[in-house]
Every structure is written in C-alpha cells, then in structure tokens.
A and B are shown apart, each in its own frame.
Chain A
C-alpha cells in the first residue's frame, strides 16, 4: 500500500486496516453468492455513532480504491448532513479517490434510503445503509427462530401482517422497508427505501449491497436477480402514485419532472410544494429545460 505515503495522517488508506477490509470483502462475496442471505461480520468501531451509516461506510471503504468515483446520497440529496460528512470522511481517508454528485459519473454510490432515479449500469455498485436488516423482526423477536424461518423460507407470518393490513385499511400500508423476496428464497429488508425504489432492485444491472453496522450484517442483491416484493396474487404491489385530489400526477415544482419520486414540504407561504427527491435527477432535468429555453 504505497498510498499511505501520500497521506499526512497515520491512518491506512480507507481508514480500516487491511484485515478488516479483507473480512468485509469475504462477507460481500458470500452475500453475492447467496442472494438475500444476511452474512454476519465483525462490524468495526468507526469514528461515528452506530446508526449513522457505519455499515454502508465499511462496505464503501472496503470496496474503494484509487481512481474510483464516489457519490454519496442522503435521502436523494448530495448536500444533506449525513452525505456531506461521509463524503468528507472518505475524501480525507482515501487519497486518489474522486467524488461526484452526478449519478452517471459515479462508479460507487453509497446511499441512505434512496436508489437514484437514473437506471444504474453494470459498472456501478450501490451500497445502501441499513438500520434493521431482518424483515422478520416485526413478527419474531428471537433471532434464533428467525434464522430457522429464513432457512426454511417460512414467511407466512409476514404475509399475515400484510393480510391484517388489508383487512384494516383496505391496502398494504408499508411505506418503506417493504419485505422483498430475493431469488425466490430469502426475504430481505431492502433498507428504508420507499416502495418506489423496490422495483429498481429487480433484475438491476448493478450490484446492490446492504450493510448494517449496528446489527453486523451484510447482504446483497446481485445484478440480474429476481427481487419480488411480498404480495398476494390478487393484490398487486403498487408504488406511490403522487396524485392530487383530482387524480392528476403531481410534477416537480423545480424541474417539472412528472415521473420521479417526490418529496413534500411546506414553502414560506404555507403552501405544500413537491420536488424531486433525487437532487441530481432534478438538476439534470432543469439543465435540459434551460437548454431548451436558450436554444
């Protein structure tokens, strides 16, 4: 590792020592080989609190090398606190790595709770930060029993949860962390991504890695792999539709895009405003629109 000679710090390239990275990489290989299986690993102490993305960060630091182009997202935005801090930390500890806010340019994307709108390519890896890795935790408190249930692909109690939802509310009310079956066997918690993003995992061109630092688990959805949300045969899965009272699809206030995931917030005058959650997507659309105006 001659990279260390560039850095003024005493830390190894990528903060983690090489043994730690090796262990994480082994866990990744296992996770990719058994799609959806939660591989345990020795989550290291990071210079930030558990629950602030340490799982995703350890994945990123183990994968990253000089020449890599990194994008860090926090709920769609490159500029919110979590994303900025993680990006700065990685810039500091990984000399030779460049960062970007453009999805198209990135080779490695670490994200908190969103998958970019722009379809990812086979050259990209997305790392998602996971607070609760086990989808079964809502129905079974004992991890021992959950492991047996996963092994036998026994997810009936999760489906009962969906049944009760439909009985009570006439639809499934899970807004994020929607249980998703990978490759026909293991059901994963796809991290708190909205329903909107779940279909993006299905036969994606890119590898999706999930890291839970506090719970010490790594799992993966490899490229071109089935990722099917748990549903009943006669109640299809549906994503957010962003329709207003009249049934019209809302568009982004800023760029006018009408087929992206929208964030709702209240502007200065108390009005509800909708804007693309993916800031890079929004910028790109805005630039295109402006080009149209000037041309």
Chain B
C-alpha cells in the first residue's frame, strides 16, 4: 500500500505559549489550558500515517482537538509546529513549507472537506450546481458545458434530485445539504477527503444513507479519508484504523476493532463502555 499522508509532531497552541505549557497540560494533567500562561494547547505532538484508500478515524470528546487536526491539515488554520507530507502520485508536498498560492492549489485540486455545518462548506447564496461549479472553476475547469455535466453527474451520484440542481441549498433538508457538500468535495476527484462530523445532527435513517454513500465512494474511487467523529458507531462502520484523542494528545492508536473490543487506555475503556 502506498502511503499518502505522513503527519509528524503536529501542534497547535492558542495564546502566547510558555515553556511549561506542554508539561502542564494533556490527559495526565486533566486539562488543555496551561495554568501558567492561560494558553490553550489544542493539539500537541500528533503523528500518524495514512495509506491510499484507507479510512482513518479520529475520535474523542468535544474539545479534544480532533477537528483542529483536520483544520490544520486542510489549511484552515496554521499549526504552531509540526510537519505533514502529502504524497501525490510521484510528487511530495511538505504542507506547511508551501506558500499561500501552493496551499490553495493543493486544497482546491487534491483535498476535499465536508464540514459538520453545511454553512461552512457551501455558499448558500448560490445554487447547488453553482457550489459544485465553484470548486471545478477553482481547479481551472473553464468549460460551461463540462461543468454542468460534471455537476449533474456528481449530484446524481450523491442522490440529490437533479430537478433541484439550480435551487439554493437553503431550501434543502439537512441531509440533502450534506449530500451537496459531499458532491462538492468530490468534484475534483481528490485522493484525500476530510470528513468533520458529517453525520452529527442528522436523523438515523439519513445518517445511514450518508455513511453508505461514503463507503461506496471509498470503494469506487479509492479515496483516502480522515473521519472526525465522537460517534463510535460511525467509527466502527467506516474506519479500519482509529486514533483516540484527549486534551490534544493521542492516547491510543490502532485497528478499530482492537480499540473498540479491547481498549487499553482508561479513557478509551470508559468511552467504549459508556457507548454500549
């Protein structure tokens, strides 16, 4: 299997930071706020690898830093320190050494992101088709007919009614908005997709269909995905490997089955026990 992503020592600290920040936060200290300078250590020393076509789960409670990891990797926020290498066919991109234009290129051409809140991922003032067109235009597809055809194809694939293609997403149900968002993320056929709490807040039947869709896409396109969720059901269904985070640190990593059946860390044990 080809490695697609290699993250090493990723850290993000909000606030001034001090030399004592690291040792006085984390799961052992039971906080992520440094008592000396008040900085928030959102993530510290996060390292993992991701392989082609693999789905990696990031789980943990609210505020554990799982979304921050994804936001740093998708260039929504710059990390405080750390490295991430993206292996793209025969090239390698050192994510945080790229300039703004290169980062934007990578983000538009090679990555996809689906947010929990469709307001973040979609422009509600333009039609569903326009949202997909935006992403295609960002990746330099300049042919109106081709854009229309591709948007239609994507919306059909994600089971959005084509008759509603030219409607504003604000008229859609939550599940449909999420489908449009997935279609938008897939528009450029990215080899890497970030899914941030995609099914949170949807009802169970809609959740199930979205998860099915994600699995089908993964089978079809061999897209690697990083799935952020606090829902153990989603982790179990989607992911092959998972990381458990608490107070910004990875406390446990391994095969999903292993983590869910035989958790090692006390926190994970509690998490798994409370879910069942």
How far apart are the CA atoms of A107 and B37 in the complex, in Å? 67
For residue A81, CB closer than 8 A to chain B, the reply is no
Chain A nearest Cβ from B202, distance in angstroms: 27
A163 touches B143 (CB 8 A): no
Instruction: Encode B121-135 as 1/0 by CB contact (under 8 A) with A.
Output: 001001101100110
**Closest chain A residue, CB of each to CB of B138:** A156
| List of B residues within 8 angstroms of A148 by Cβ | 100
A154 touches B104 (CB 8 A): yes
Q: Interface of chain A, helix or strand or loop or mixed?
A: helix
Contact A167–B101 (Cβ < 8 Å): no
Contact A232-B143, Cβ < 8 Å, known A160-B137, A163-B133, A163-B137: yes
B101–A152 touching, CB < 8 Å: yes
Nearest A residue (CB) for B99 = A152
Number of A interface residues, CB 8 Å? 16
Question: Which residues on the B side are within 8 Å of A163 (C-beta)?
Answer: 129-130, 133, 137, 144, 147
- When distances are taken between beta carbons in the complex, the residues of chain B under 8 Å from A291 are none
CA distance A89 to B166 in the complex (A): 52
| Interface presence of A3 (CB below 8 A) | no
A289 at the interface (CB under 8 A from B): no
Task: Tell me the bound Cα distance from A164 to B100 in angstroms.
Answer: 28
Given A154-B104, A164-B127, A167-B130, check contact A233 B147 (CB 8 Å): no
Q: Is there a chain A Cβ closer than 8 Å to B19's Cβ?
A: no
A118 beta carbon closer than 8 Å to chain B: no
Question: Which of A154, A159, A167, A235 meets B127, CB within 8 Å?
Answer: A167
CB-CB contacts below 8 Å: A186-200 with B: none
A263–B268 Cα distance when bound, in Å, is 75
Interface residues of B (CB under 8 A from A): 100-101, 104, 123, 126-127, 129-130, 133-134, 137-138, 142-147, 166
Chain A residues in the interface with B (C-beta under 8 A) = 148, 152, 154, 156-157, 159-160, 163-164, 166-168, 232-235
Query: 29 pairs across A/B with beta carbons < 8 Å?
Result: A148-B100, A152-B100, A152-B104, A154-B104, A157-B134, A159-B137, A160-B123, A160-B126, A160-B130, A160-B133, A160-B134, A160-B137, A163-B129, A163-B137, A163-B144, A163-B147, A164-B127, A164-B130, A167-B129, A167-B166, A168-B166, A232-B142, A232-B143, A233-B142, A233-B143, A233-B144, A234-B144, A234-B146, A235-B144
